[in-house]
Amino acid sequence: MKKSRLLSRILFGLMVLCLLGYGQAAAPKPAEAPKPEMKPSDLVTHGPWLTYPDPGELTIGFTTVPGCGAGVEYREVGTEQWKQAWHTEAGQIFRHRTARSIRLTGLKKNGEYEYRLILFVPRDAKYHEGNFPKLDKGHKTKQTVLVENPDFRFKAFTDTADPFTFSVTADLQFSRNVKHGILRSYYDKCGLKDSKFFAVIGDGHNDIGSMENSYIGTVIDGLQPIGGASRPALFIRGNHEWRGGEASLWTEYFPAPKTRSTYFTFQCGDTFFIVLDSGEDKAATTLTYHYTGDNIDDQAFREEQRVWLAKVVESPEFKSAKWRIAMCHSAIYSHPEAYMYNHLAHICQDLFKKDKPENRIHLWLSGHTHVYSRTIPGTDQIYRPGNYRQVYGGKDYDFTVLTVEGPGGVGDINNCLVNVTVDKDKISVEARTPENALMDAFEIKNDGTVVDLNNDTLPMKKTPANYK
Ligand SMILES: [Fe+2]
């Protein structure tokens, strides 16, 4: 290149730089938006919620903004020293994505605990690629914040035979505000406030288009102001939780501790609980855009549950339990839904039929039909509001299947709360509308005998308006 040409290029470049510099100097400086002081609690976007209780164990879940590590500090009330448990993956704090699920083990049975959330929020770049600086004074400062709240406390479960009450519902396919209102009513009026734990037995939302907006943002956010940070809750998958673009994230937000899946067992006192996943209510149209298009392995999944359940009924915990309660979105019998019924028939085989009294179940709690009903054990008969009809398959089973009310059910009753009290010699069950009208009450003895506590011999024949 000739010298003159090179010189002209350098001069042009200097002019451009001067213009840019002039422009920068001349342009008015944009007013800097004030940076609001971010509180540690702003980093927690939902929760915390307590789930998967077991004697001496519990999972604390919550969601955070991405980029921070998350853990829990906990201690028995009245003690000084905090213990820590972090969300880790293969030995490292997990700082990606947003779902946090922290299992606490080794808790004192019946012990009262308080906890707080601890977040690792790196304020400085960790290091540049390939540059690993030596430890200096600055590196010794822990970059953590605490999120504390007086509601962050719980009582650990025990396996001793203390009486307890738990509450269940299902089919909460309402708008966010209506759902929150129903949950609030259950807490204020219907006994949820005094329950040891709460279970949503499927269809907590219509679909999981976004896990944090649709399910967590409505169900868990609704529980938050009514003791959600201190009362364990079980979030059980129904057919509607199989639907939606983020449905397959379920186990990232709610990983069951032993199975890492959607079916699990747990104990409370001398009661053994089995939770099953009855799947989608329609056969999969795999690899299509249909909402069942992802369910390519649902048949393998039910076989997986069958193998697991066959082992569960052989376990010492199941065999020695005084009471056994199953929770599943669908019923093992009495529901007309063919696909889920077949699903459960495969999972359960003959394990719970009445010719196997050693596996006696005392109560099966379900949802899905949206119509409150209660089977009469050992018969093909069922109580349900407004009528009294026959079901099929009931003669094979000697335990009650209770199905909760749902939207569009009978009359203007759109949901119900079922309170179950496990006592020394009986299980007492009552169903209440969101307005706290008693819909049904009965007791179950240890030998499976059911005592109807309603005044009428066929109380479900009354119209909903007549419920006391
Ligand atoms: Fe359902």
All domains of the chain, ordered by start, with CATH? Answer: 40-154 (2.60.40.10), 159-466 (3.60.21.10)
Distance 56 CA to ligand 1 centre (A): 32
Q: What is the pLDDT of residue 412?
A: 75
Digit-coded pLDDT (tens) for 195-206: 999 999 999 999
Distance 233 CA to ligand 1 centre (A): 19
Distance 112 CA to ligand 1 centre (A): 36
Distance 329 CA to ligand 1 centre (A): 7
Distance 239 CA to ligand 1 centre (A): 5
**Is pLDDT of 313 > 50?**
yes
Distance CA 336, CA 414 (A): 20
- Bridge partners, residue 235, by sequence: 200
Distance 349 CA to ligand 1 centre (A): 22
Cβ count near 220 (within 10 Å):
24
Distance 163 CA to ligand 1 centre (A): 31
Digit-coded pLDDT (tens) for 354-408: 999 999 999 999 999 998 899 989 988 888 765 555 566 788 999 999 999 999 8
Distance 208 CA to ligand 1 centre (A): 14
Distance 195 CA to ligand 1 centre (A): 25
Distance 405 CA to ligand 1 centre (A): 11
Distance 241 CA to ligand 1 centre (A): 9
Distance CA 394, CA 153 (A): 43
Distance 242 CA to ligand 1 centre (A): 10
Structure tokens at 71: 């853990």
Distance CA 172, CA 189 (A): 18
Residue of higher predicted confidence among 150 and 452: 150
Distance 460 CA to ligand 1 centre (A): 22
Report whether 116 contacts 73 (CB < 8 A).
yes
Residue of higher predicted confidence among 345 and 24: 345
**Is pLDDT of 24 > 60?**
no
227: exposed, middle or buried (C-beta count within 10 Å: 0-12, 13-18, 19+)? middle
Distance 188 CA to ligand 1 centre (A): 27
Distance 415 CA to ligand 1 centre (A): 13
Digit-coded pLDDT (tens) for 60-113: 999 999 989 999 999 999 999 999 999 999 999 998 899 999 999 999 999 999
Phi and psi of 87, rounded to 5°? Answer: -80, 110
Digit-coded pLDDT (tens) for 1-20: 444 454 445 444 443 333 33
Position 428 confidence tier, pLDDT thresholds 50, 70, 90 = very high
Distance 183 CA to ligand 1 centre (A): 19
Return mean pLDDT, the chain: 88
Position 337 confidence tier, pLDDT thresholds 50, 70, 90 = low
Distance 27 CA to ligand 1 centre (A): 61
Listed residue (266, 263, 258, 259) closest to 276, CA to CA: 263
